[in-house]
């Protein structure tokens, strides 16, 4: 049968069963290896169905730009939050990420943008993500 991800992806023990692998990946954020790993994974897995990646919009140049603009500490914080409750935390993220590779030194090189039309309101899961970003000094 066709699978879009691990069968146990949303079970409580998903992270615990893979903790060593997850810790090894998070460690790469500390030593800088994550950039090359993400590029290599993009090449190896591009086009394979994933519950987290929309391949039609993730080109290699976009990945490279994102890796140059998004701080490892921000990625780590987001990954840890996602992994704390994949079922509920995978929804509610902002609609857009604007990359700003030419931002002056000391200024954010990206920002997340939530688009709302007239009469639109933030959903609870969107509020939770925005609160999280604000607590972690992430530009939203």
**CA–CA dist 4, 10 (Å, integer):** 12
**CA–CA dist 126, 136 (Å, integer):** 15
- Structure confidence by residue, pLDDT tens digits, 78-125: 999 999 999 999 999 999 999 999 999 999 999 999 999 999 999 999
pLDDT for the residue 2: 67
Q: Give the residue extent of every domain in the chain.
A: 14-135
Per-residue pLDDT at 1 exceeds 60: no
Q: Are 53 and 63 in contact (CB under 8 A)?
A: no
Q: Is the pTM of this model over 0.85?
A: yes
DSSP the chain: ---SS-TTTTSTTHHHHTHHHHHHHHHHHHHSTHHHHHHHHHHHHTTS--SS--GGG--HHHHHHHHHHS-HHHHHHHHHHHHH-HHHHTS---SEEEE-TTPPTTS-SEEEE----TT----HHHHHHHHHHHHTT---
**CA–CA dist 125, 66 (Å, integer):** 24
Q: Are 102 and 65 in contact (CB under 8 A)?
A: no
């Amino acid at each position: 049968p066709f699978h879009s991800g691990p069968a146990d992806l949303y079970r409580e023990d998903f992270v615990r069963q893979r903790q060593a692998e997850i810790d090894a990946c998070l460690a790469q954020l500390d030593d800088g290896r994550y950039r090359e790993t993400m590029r290599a994974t993009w090449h190896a897995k591009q086009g394979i169905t994933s519950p987290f990646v929309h391949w039609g919009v993730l080109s290699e140049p976009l990945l490279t730009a994102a890796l140059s603009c998004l701080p490892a500490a921000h990625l780590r914080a987001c990954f840890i939050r996602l992994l704390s409750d994949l079922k509920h935390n995978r929804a509610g993220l902002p609609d857009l990420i604007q990359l700003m590779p030419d931002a002056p030194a000391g200024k954010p090189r990206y920002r997340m943008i939530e688009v709302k039309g007239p009469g639109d309101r933030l959903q609870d899961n969107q509020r939770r993500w925005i609160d999280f970003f604000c607590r972690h000094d992430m530009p939203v």
